[in-house]
Structure 1
């Protein structure tokens, strides 16, 4: 039987946009586990930020897709791999650009800029693979900055107020690597924002969680494989996963009957 892999964004998807509550989704998560499935968290958060939730959900040694897809790490690998981050910071030190990254900010400043608590800001500063920050220059300087970064293989992506620098890997890239590890698996990808689009598109079935805070994601090439939820956050997550698991059960019965 094919292994079920469920990849999920956090904020606005598994987690409520405002309260960060995930309890409405718990019965659906239990049903994933009951089928021998694996839940992979995929977020722009750092591994240090994601680890408490990873523990609370009982995910064991399941890897996490962190820092918007810059890497996929196991819980034991948190903090042990920092070469990418150090390389990005080294390049920044040579450019003298009007860019103020998290590495240039104190915990208090990150807290003030993001609205995170002191502890959350401390975890957000525990970067391993990417560097978010504030651009403080003009358009001409910005173009020169991006060109200089590109010469070092560094990509810059805009997310809200922050410009995030990384070596370019995405959530979809990391999902495909795990798909290769579990050959023959069936993948579900869940998200609510543009940075989830490619991951959702690449899965066997995709879920777009309704996001009342931003425009709807555009149509996908294979829209028939996409489920768009009526409810937002974990309520939408629960309803979508339960529907897809019902479809999965019917498919498995059909396979067994014809086997």
Structure 2
């Protein structure tokens, strides 16, 4: 691994490097190969667990770089499969049990479901859903109430130090830390010449704005992100193609710009 890479890429997964419906990354194969040839680093940054990310990271050939897991609530070290302790997750579940019953009933977390239930709400295979349930730092879930009720729900949890991030499909609860925090930490550690972040959802915004260049990947399955800080100056760009196809085109273009 390069001591000081010219490029360090931070990438969301679902709807970004992975197709929104199939969870496949093969449309980005050319760009992934180009990153390796350029000696660039790739840090996956997702709401997924360490158990989910470790085999994916190995499959794309970037296991020698750390990964940001569970929306930035934790970090998977380079080369690790990671059997993280679950004390934080257990504390989250305890806090949820103390929320007023009427509000608690509106939130269905992964811990409330078996693997088949998680597969149903995510579209994952039963095996992959089992990996998604191996949580250590955070609790994603679906919300069926109103925005006002969600605010009440989160206010109750905030008194116990729990914060929420809202992604494309889920509300994710944790005791703090987000993708942008981890991007800042890893940028300081590796001191790359340039950083690029790619994402498609509201929980990616801070990460996109933290990197030198942010790439908003088109996602026809959700409302487009609002104009972001630095977008007018060209610091944030947007793809026309969705998912890994858009990721592929953006990375190939940026490699050419930044390494020529």
> TM class, shorter-chain normalised?
0.7 to 0.9
Higher-Rg member (1/2): 1
Residue among 15, 21, 29 paired with 2:18: 15
SS, match of residue 15 in structure 1: coil
Question: Quick one: which of 66, 83, 86 aligns to 1:82?
Answer: 86
Of 230, 244, 256 in structure 2, the residue corresponding to residue 246 of structure 1 is 256
* C-alpha distance in 2 between matches for 1:239 and 1:229: 8
The 5 Å alignment of 1:154-193 reads 154-159=162-167, 162-193=170-201
Shift of 1:123: 0.8
The aligned runs of 1:57-72 (5 Å cut-off) are: 57-72=60-75
Deviation at 1:137, TM superposition (A): 6.5
* Greater mean alpha carbon deviation, residues 47-56 or residues 157-166: 157-166
Could you tell me whether the CA contact under 8 Å between 2:209 and 2:228 is conserved in 1?
yes
Offset at residue 56 of structure 1 (A): 0.5
Distance 2:241 2:144 in 1: 37
2:126 is equivalent to residue 123 of structure 1? no
Structure 1 residue 160, shift from structure 2 partner: 5.2
Q: Following the alignment from structure 1 to structure 2, what is the Cα–Cα distance between the partners of residues 239 and 135?
A: 34
Aligned match of 1:30: 33
**Counterpart Cα distance in 1 of 2:24 and 2:116:** 25
Residues 37 and 184 (structure 1), Cα distance of their counterparts in 2 relative to 1, 3 Å cut = closer
Q: For residues 21-77 of structure 1, what are the alpha-carbon distances to aligned partners after superposition, in whole Å with 9 as ceiling and x for unaligned? A: 222212211221222210111111112122221111111231111112222212526
Give the one of 87, 97, 104 matched to 1:93: 97
Residue matched to 2:50: 47
Deviation at 1:188, TM superposition (A): 0.5
Q: In the alignment, what sits opposite 2:241?
A: 231
Distance 1:112 1:241, change over 3 A: closer
> Separation in 1 of the partners of 2:247 and 2:146?
40
The structural deviation recorded for 1:168 is 2.6
Task: State the match for 1:255 in structure 2.
Answer: none
Q: What's the secondary structure of 1:206's corresponding residue?
A: strand
Q: Which moved more, 1:120-129 or 1:13-22?
A: 13-22
- Provide the C-alpha distance between the structure 2 equivalents of 1:139 and 1:17, rounded to a whole number of angstroms: 25
- Distance in 2 separating the partners of 1:104 and 1:16: 26
Under a length normalisation based on structure 2, what TM-score does the superposition of the two structures give?
0.86
Larger CA deviation: 167-176 vs 214-223: 214-223
SS at structure 1 position matched to 2:250: helix
Structure 1: any 5+ residue segments left out of the alignment? 251-259
How far is the alpha carbon of 1:174 from its aligned partner? 0.9
Change (3 A) 1:132 1:27: same
Task: Describe the SS at the equivalent of 1:76.
Answer: coil
